[in-house]
Structure 1
Amino acid sequence: MKSKNSFLIIIILIFLDISVSFSNDYFIKKVEITGNKRIPSSFITNITNKYFNKKITDEEINLITKDLYKSDFFDDITVKVDNDTLQIEVIETPIINEIYFFGNSFFTEEQLKDIVKINKRDTFSKNKLNNAIERIKLQYSKTGRKFAKVEVSKKELSQSRVDLLFEITEGELVKVNNINFFGNKVFSNDKLKTVIKTKESKFYRLFGSSVFKEENIILDKNLLKRFYNRRGFIDFKVLSYKRELLPDYTGYNLNIILNEGNPFVINDILFQNELSNISKKALLNQVEFKKGDIFDERALQESIKNINNFFEKDGFTFIKLNYEILNKDNKNSKFDLKFIISEAVKSYVRRINITGNTRTLDKVLRRELLVLEGDPFNGQKLKDSLNALRRLGYFKSVNVEILKTETPGVVDVEIKVIEDLTGSFSFGIGYDSVEKTSFTIGLNEKNFLGKGLKTRISIQSSEKSTKFNLGITEPFFQDTPLSLSGDIFDQEIEVGDKDIEKQGFDIGFGFNYYDYINRFGYRYVSSKTTTDDTFTGTSISGEEGIEIETSLLNYSISSNNTDSFLNPTEGVKKSLKMSMAGVGGDAKFLKTEASFKQFIPFNYGDYIFSYGTKLGTITSLDDEKITSSNRFYFNSNSIRGFDSNGIGPRDNGNDNGVGGNNFYTGQVEVKSRKLIPGDLGIDISVFSDIGSLWDTDYPTNVKGVNDSSPRASAGVAIYWNTAVGPLSFIWGWPISEENYDKDNNFKFSIGTSF
Structure 2
Amino acid sequence: MCRTATLVFAVAVLPAAPAFAQSFTFNNVVINGNQRVADSTILTFGGISRGETVDAATLNDAGQNIRASGLFDNVEVRAQGNTLIIDVVEFPTVSQVAIDGNRRLADGEFLPLLESQPRRIYSPETVERDVATITSIYARNGRINASVTPRIIRLSENRVNVVFEVSETGVTEVERITFVGNRSFSDRRLRGVLETKEAGLLRAIISRDTFSEDRIAFDRQVLTDFYQSRGYADFTLQNVDVALTRERDAYLITYNIQEGQQFTFGNVSASSALPEVDVATFQAALSTRSGRTYSPGQVDRDIARLERLAIQQGLTFVAVEPRITRNDRDLSLDVNFELVRGPRIFVERIDIEGNSTTLDRVVRNQFRVVEGDPFNPREIRQAAERIRALGFFANAEVDAREGSSPDQVVVDVNVEEQPTGSLSFGANYNSDVGVGLVASFREANFLGRGQAVGVQVSTASSNRVFDFNFSEPNFLGRDLRAGIDLSYRVTDNQNADYDTENFRLSPNLTFPVSENGRLTTFVALSYDDLSGLEDATGISSIIQEEAALDGVTTQSLGYAYSFDNRRTGLDPTTGFVFRFGQEFGFGDTQFIKTSALAAAETKVLNEDVTLRATIEGGHLSYQDGFSRVTDRYFLNGNTLRGFDANGVGPRDLDPANDVNDALGGTSFAVARLEAEFPLGLPEEYGITGGVFVDYGSVWDIGRQPNATTIYNDFTGRSTIGFAIFWTTPLGPLRFNFTDALKAEEFDETRSFDLTISTAF
TM-score of the aligned structures, taking structure 2 as reference length: 0.73
The correspondence for 1:720, drawn from 722, 726, 730, is 726
1:471 corresponding residue in structure 2: 468
CA contact (8 A) 2:146 2:167 kept: yes
Residues in 1 aligned to 2:472 and 2:452: alpha-carbon distance in whole angstroms:
7
1:657 corresponding residue in structure 2: 662
Superposition deviation, residue 749 in structure 1: 0.9
Aligned to 2:138, the other structure's residue is in SS state: helix
Q: Structure 2 vs 1, CA of residues 350 and 334 (structure 1 numbering), >3 Å: closer, same or farther?
A: same
Residues in 1 aligned to 2:660 and 2:94: alpha-carbon distance in whole angstroms:
78
Residues in 2 aligned to 1:473 and 1:541: alpha-carbon distance in whole angstroms:
37
2:126 corresponding residue in structure 1: 128
Superposition deviation, residue 722 in structure 1: 0.3
2:26 corresponding residue in structure 1: 26
Once the two structures are superposed, the pairs formed by residues 74-153 of structure 1 within 5 Å of their partners are 74-80=72-78, 82=80, 85-153=83-151
Q: Structure 2 vs 1, CA of residues 51 and 314 (structure 1 numbering), >3 Å: closer, same or farther?
A: closer
2:492 corresponding residue in structure 1: 492
Amino acid in the other structure paired with 1:639:
L
Aligned to 2:110, the other structure's residue is in SS state: helix
Matched, 1:551 2:553: yes
The correspondence for 1:446, drawn from 442, 446, 470, is 442
For residues 644-699 of structure 1, give each alpha carbon's deviation from its aligned partner in whole angstroms, at most 9, with x where no partner exists: 12233211222221234x22445556676779783444576756454534224463
CA contact (8 A) 1:201 1:210 kept: yes
Residues in 1 aligned to 2:757 and 2:210: alpha-carbon distance in whole angstroms:
26
1:742 corresponding residue in structure 2: 748
Aligned to 2:553, the other structure's residue is in SS state: strand
CA contact (8 A) 1:673 1:681 kept: no
Single out whichever of 306-315 and 222-231 deviates more from structure 2: 222-231
For residues 191-220 of structure 1, give each alpha carbon's deviation from its aligned partner in whole angstroms, at most 9, with x where no partner exists: 877776666666686646654444455456
Amino acid in the other structure paired with 2:470:
T
Superposition deviation, residue 442 in structure 1: 2.8
Residues in 1 aligned to 2:601 and 2:188: alpha-carbon distance in whole angstroms:
27
Amino acid in the other structure paired with 2:443:
N
CA contact (8 A) 1:639 1:665 kept: no
Residues in 2 aligned to 1:453 and 1:723: alpha-carbon distance in whole angstroms:
24
Amino acid in the other structure paired with 1:727:
L
Residues in 1 aligned to 2:536 and 2:333: alpha-carbon distance in whole angstroms:
83
For residues 28-57 of structure 1, give each alpha carbon's deviation from its aligned partner in whole angstroms, at most 9, with x where no partner exists: 4xx5443222345565577799945x4453
Aligned to 2:163, the other structure's residue is in SS state: strand
Once the two structures are superposed, the pairs formed by residues 626-637 of structure 1 within 5 Å of their partners are 626-637=627-638
Amino acid in the other structure paired with 2:533:
T
Amino acid in the other structure paired with 1:165:
V
For residues 438-475 of structure 1, give each alpha carbon's deviation from its aligned partner in whole angstroms, at most 9, with x where no partner exists: 2244333332786554333343534xx33232535364
Superposition deviation, residue 165 in structure 1: 1.0
1:250 corresponding residue in structure 2: 249
The correspondence for 1:695, drawn from 701, 723, 746, is 701
Residues in 1 aligned to 2:186 and 2:71: alpha-carbon distance in whole angstroms:
62
Amino acid in the other structure paired with 1:473:
F
Residues in 1 aligned to 2:473 and 2:295: alpha-carbon distance in whole angstroms:
40
Superposition deviation, residue 713 in structure 1: 5.5
The correspondence for 1:165, drawn from 152, 159, 163, is 163
Q: Structure 2 vs 1, CA of residues 181 and 281 (structure 1 numbering), >3 Å: closer, same or farther?
A: same
CA contact (8 A) 2:286 2:306 kept: no
Residues in 1 aligned to 2:394 and 2:308: alpha-carbon distance in whole angstroms:
28
Amino acid in the other structure paired with 1:493:
N
CA contact (8 A) 1:541 1:627 kept: no
Matched, 1:639 2:611: no
Residues in 1 aligned to 2:718 and 2:344: alpha-carbon distance in whole angstroms:
54
CA contact (8 A) 2:427 2:759 kept: no
Matched, 1:529 2:535: no
Amino acid in the other structure paired with 1:722:
T
Residues in 2 aligned to 1:413 and 1:602: alpha-carbon distance in whole angstroms:
41
Aligned to 1:24, the other structure's residue is in SS state: strand
CA contact (8 A) 1:730 1:748 kept: yes
CA contact (8 A) 1:574 1:595 kept: yes
2:296 corresponding residue in structure 1: 301
Residues in 1 aligned to 2:677 and 2:345: alpha-carbon distance in whole angstroms:
39
CA contact (8 A) 1:266 1:334 kept: yes
The correspondence for 1:678, drawn from 683, 707, 729, is 683
CA contact (8 A) 1:647 1:742 kept: yes
Single out whichever of 640-649 and 683-692 deviates more from structure 2: 683-692
Residues in 2 aligned to 1:411 and 1:730: alpha-carbon distance in whole angstroms:
56
Residues in 2 aligned to 1:649 and 1:124: alpha-carbon distance in whole angstroms:
82
CA contact (8 A) 2:95 2:161 kept: yes
Identity %: 19
Aligned to 2:639, the other structure's residue is in SS state: coil
Q: Structure 2 vs 1, CA of residues 288 and 549 (structure 1 numbering), >3 Å: closer, same or farther?
A: same
Residues in 2 aligned to 1:733 and 1:402: alpha-carbon distance in whole angstroms:
58
CA contact (8 A) 1:442 1:458 kept: yes
Aligned to 1:307, the other structure's residue is in SS state: helix
Residues in 1 aligned to 2:97 and 2:146: alpha-carbon distance in whole angstroms:
19
Residues in 1 aligned to 2:737 and 2:353: alpha-carbon distance in whole angstroms:
43
Q: Structure 2 vs 1, CA of residues 409 and 449 (structure 1 numbering), >3 Å: closer, same or farther?
A: closer
Superposition deviation, residue 60 in structure 1: 7.0
Q: Structure 2 vs 1, CA of residues 92 and 628 (structure 1 numbering), >3 Å: closer, same or farther?
A: same
Superposition deviation, residue 123 in structure 1: 2.8
Residues in 2 aligned to 1:278 and 1:679: alpha-carbon distance in whole angstroms:
51
For residues 155-178 of structure 1, give each alpha carbon's deviation from its aligned partner in whole angstroms, at most 9, with x where no partner exists: 223343322211122222224556
Residues in 1 aligned to 2:688 and 2:193: alpha-carbon distance in whole angstroms:
17
Q: Structure 2 vs 1, CA of residues 564 and 370 (structure 1 numbering), >3 Å: closer, same or farther?
A: farther
Aligned length: 701
Q: Structure 2 vs 1, CA of residues 130 and 339 (structure 1 numbering), >3 Å: closer, same or farther?
A: farther
CA contact (8 A) 1:483 1:510 kept: yes
For residues 11-42 of structure 1, give each alpha carbon's deviation from its aligned partner in whole angstroms, at most 9, with x where no partner exists: xxxxxxx99952222234xx544322234556
Superposition deviation, residue 101 in structure 1: 1.2
Once the two structures are superposed, the pairs formed by residues 192-591 of structure 1 within 5 Å of their partners are 207=206, 211-215=210-214, 217-218=216-217, 241-253=240-252, 260=258, 263=261, 269=267, 273-274=271-272, 276-278=278-280, 286-287=288-289, 289=291, 299-305=294-300, 307-308=302-303, 311-312=306-307, 314-315=309-310, 319-324=319-324, 326=326, 337-339=334-336, 341-343=338-340, 344-345=342-343, 361=358, 366=363, 369=366, 371=368, 373-374=370-371, 403=400, 405=402, 410=409, 412=411, 427-431=427-431, 438-447=434-443, 451=447, 452-462=451-461, 465-469=462-466, 471=468, 473=470, 475=472, 483-484=483-484, 486-493=486-493, 496=496, 498-500=497-499, 502=501, 505-507=503-505, 509-512=507-510, 516-532=519-535, 535=538, 537-542=540-545, 548-558=550-560, 562=564, 575-580=581-586, 588-591=588-591
TM-score of the aligned structures, taking structure 1 as reference length: 0.74
CA contact (8 A) 2:566 2:577 kept: no
Amino acid in the other structure paired with 2:465:
F
Superposition deviation, residue 741 in structure 1: 3.7
Residues in 2 aligned to 1:531 and 1:518: alpha-carbon distance in whole angstroms:
40
Q: Structure 2 vs 1, CA of residues 310 and 148 (structure 1 numbering), >3 Å: closer, same or farther?
A: same
Superposition deviation, residue 124 in structure 1: 2.8
Amino acid in the other structure paired with 1:659:
G
1:293 corresponding residue in structure 2: none
For residues 604-628 of structure 1, give each alpha carbon's deviation from its aligned partner in whole angstroms, at most 9, with x where no partner exists: 995585646453425364xx65444
Aligned to 2:23, the other structure's residue is in SS state: coil
RMSD of aligned C-alpha atoms?
A: 5.2
Amino acid in the other structure paired with 2:652:
D
Amino acid in the other structure paired with 1:694:
D
Residues in 2 aligned to 1:647 and 1:445: alpha-carbon distance in whole angstroms:
35
Amino acid in the other structure paired with 2:119:
R
CA contact (8 A) 1:179 1:200 kept: yes
Aligned to 2:279, the other structure's residue is in SS state: coil
